[in-house]
Chain A
Amino acid sequence: MSLQELDRSIVHDGGSVSAKADEYLRRSGTAAGGWLSRYGLLIAVLALWQAASTAGWINPAVFPSVGAILSALWTGISGGALLDDIAVSLQRSGTAFAGAVVLAIPLGLLMGQVRSIENALDPVLQLFRQTSALALYPVFILLLGLGEASKVFVIFWATLFPLLLSTISGVKEVDSKLIEMARVYGASRLTVFRRVVLPGAVPSIFVGLRLSATTALLLLIASEMIGANKGIGFQVMNAQYNFQIPLMFAAIFILAGLGLLSNYALVFAQRRLCRWSDASN
């Protein structure tokens, strides 16, 4: 039980039943208010879009009504076509993201700890980081062909660097006074790493994971616009070519949803793992 919870339970135990009911109403009232202030504008924009499209203030051929988009979304999903696209896209970005995690976190931990390794790799890293992954995509296609490999690799490439750099800075920003404290108690280098450096770097690693997950979806679309015949990114382009504008928006909505979902999943994991950190709140 945290101290705040302790305080709250003291307040509760002291109050009468009606005070508790008031408290409950007040809190659900603020919860509804909070929800409205958070999502009210979004709902208003969607409502305005719907109204503008049906009333003909904007060209419905370019901006179909929200209803038409939702129905295209439903047709695509219930028919299974969009589900296939989602699966293919998730596989591409997921593979690339997993590869980046497997390489960047151990390498970042090592680079943050061992100065000579960092010094040796840093110039290369800075050069690669400053080169747009999209500019390198043609190179990857030349090397790996127009198939899955070049798509996955370009996403991997772009997701690698934010995660690597956050991991390195996470390790380096661990308070040296805490490391000295552990040493005074006789901790070996390995113990210091395991019990002080690693947990201390976790919040920063999560920042990197969230950046990388966003980048993975961003690059997914770009990679699927060239030489793909499946995937959400392909579907956005393809629907536009075929003038299936509601389907195009449906695919864009799915992308936004995937982005939100992956971010929420990471935020959730971060809250579980770094309850102690201010960054997780």
Chain B
Amino acid sequence: MAEVRSLRRGEVALRDLSKSFRINGRPLSVLRNLNLDIRSGECLAIVGASGSGKTTLLRVLAGLETADSGRALIDGRPVTGVGRERAVIFQEPRLLPWLTVLGNVAFGLEVRGEDPGRADERARHYIALVGLADFQDAYPKQLSGGMAQRVGLARALTVQPEILLLDEPLGALDAMTKLTMQQELERIWREENVTMVLVTHDLEEALYLADRVLILPKQKDASPRLIGIDLPRPRDRSEARFVRYRQELLREFGLH
């Protein structure tokens, strides 16, 4: 598996990317001339007020939306639709209720034409990695919210993507589960050596996980800000430098 890993790149480049929607017949600009490079293996967090376009940006990267102008490139190739090198984790776990945990985790690989035996084998590995080995025969309705989200994470990891796109993945979880899941995400990101793009509205989550934080402005004439987080991992939320970063981010949103 090691040689496969070294071939993975997972670089993202955005060039003058713009996207607007029509709301009641009037165009509403969501992303305007965005330029950004995401390095291979990096964890980039995208934060911003609602309506700042962070989810739209993620959906463009996933290939679920197309940009009006400009380009999104992955490993130098323009994004034209969904792709094998990417996996998406949504705010809801989106599990198929008629499949067991194992069936759900193997689903992505099976859809991609992997032989079911091999798919199950790889699925078991990732189910263990997210700590659900005892629950592989359980059905989604028997799982708690945090467990269901872990299943979604395992399903995404099973296809061994270069880039993991996460759309507020922990947004629906309670505070305690959220903290545990942030630790897990950080560990898995390091172990799997995957590029992660994380959309979140939780500034602390962004600081805990990200190498850089992209702040998307709500006013489209303002330019986005990119803040590098230079802290050793795993990060300590109570440490002075962490707190200073937090204040800096809060100031960006006009809060103190």
Contacts and interface: CB of A to CB of B under 8 A. Distances in A.
Contact of B90 (A4, A177, A202, A276): A177
B97 interface: yes
Contacts, number: 63
B126 interface: no
B36 interface: no
B105 to A, nearest CB: 12
Interface string A175-213: 101101111111100010001100110100000000000
A186 B62 contact: no
Contacts of A196: 96
Contacts of A195: 96, 107, 111
A274 interface: yes
Is chain A's interface secondary structure helix, strand, loop, or mixed overall?
Answer: helix
A178 B96 contact: yes
Contacts of A41: none
B108 interface: yes
Given A3-B138, A191-B111, A274-B98, A184 B88 contact: yes
A184 B82 contact: yes
Given A3-B142, A195-B111, A276-B141, A183 B97 contact: no
Interface in B68-101: 82-84, 86-88, 90, 92, 94, 96-99
B98 A276 contact: yes
Interface in B126-177: 135, 137-142, 159
B112 A186 contact: yes
A187 B87 CA distance: 13
Interface residues of B, number: 28
A178 B94 contact: yes
A75 interface: no
B64 interface: yes
A114 B141 CA distance: 30
B111 A185 contact: yes
Nearest to A1: B137
A191 B112 CA distance: 10
Contact of A278 (B112, B135, B141): B141
Nearest to A182: B111
Contact of B87 (A175, A180, A182, A184): A184
Interface in A226-281: 274-278
Contacts of B111: 182, 185-187, 191, 195
Given A3-B142, A276-B139, A276-B141, A185 B94 contact: no
A18 interface: no
B137 to A, nearest CB: 7
A191 B107 CA distance: 11
A119 interface: no
Given A185-B87, A185-B112, A199-B96, 16 more contacts: A3-B138, A4-B142, A180-B64, A181-B94, A182-B107, A182-B111, A184-B62, A186-B84, A195-B96, A196-B96, A200-B98, A276-B99, A276-B139, A276-B140, A276-B141, A278-B141
